[in-house]
Amino acid sequence: MNKKNASPAYKVVADNRKARFNYEILNTLEAGVVLQGTEVKSLRSHHGNIAESYASFENGEFWLINSYIPEYTQGNRFNHDPRRLRKLLLSKHEMSRWANAVAREGLTIVPLKLYFNDRGRVKLELALARGKKLHDKRQTEKKRDWNREKSRLMRERG
């Protein structure tokens, strides 16, 4: 198969684009998500939002809080609650390491992407992040604008 025509190994369902602007990403990790059948069907039809969600460590487990997966239209009485807590699947070592980082350094665990991997399983890309201050956000915006302007000038001049 030609590399130009090769499709990516995963299909992104939801992307948290504001996370990279609001947080300084320190480390990323892939986690599994425990879902019900109607949630998976709703995600396969590209519905879902993780923009205002975060992960929390409670009772020895990680939970995805405030993520939104709308009810499946043909789900009738077997439908799920759109904003329910969803358990994240991580190894014990990763759980303890990230829980200690959150407790010790005051970091946040933010979801970046919700996607189907090459085996058809729903995965969540998590990031260990530190919140940016207002001046850091301004600096990021200034740098992004300058790069956009620089590329525009390079295109015009050849």
Question: Was domain 11-132 assigned CATH 2.40.280.10?
Answer: yes
């665990």: which residue's tokens? 109
Lowest mean pLDDT among 26-35, 73-82, 120-129: 73-82
pTM of the model as a whole: 0.75
Q: How confident is the model at residue 149 (pLDDT cuts 50, 70, 90)?
A: very high
The pLDDT of residue 23 = 85
pLDDT over 80 at 82, yes or no: no
What value does the mean pLDDT take over residues 124-147?
A: 87
How would you classify the pairing of strands 54-58 and 11-15?
unpaired
The pLDDT of residue 111 = 92
The pLDDT of residue 1 = 43
Q: How confident is the model at residue 77 (pLDDT cuts 50, 70, 90)?
A: confident
The pLDDT of residue 146 = 92
Four-residue CA torsion sign, 96, 101, 137, 140: negative
User: Can you spell out the DSSP letters for 71-93?
Assistant: PPTT-GGG---TT--EEEE--HH
Render pLDDT for 101-125 as a digit per residue (tens, 0 to 9): 888 887 888 999 989 888 888 899 9
Q: 152 to each of 100, 142, 155, 156, how far by Cα in Å?
A: 45, 15, 5, 6
Render pLDDT for 84-96 as a digit per residue (tens, 0 to 9): 888 899 889 988 8
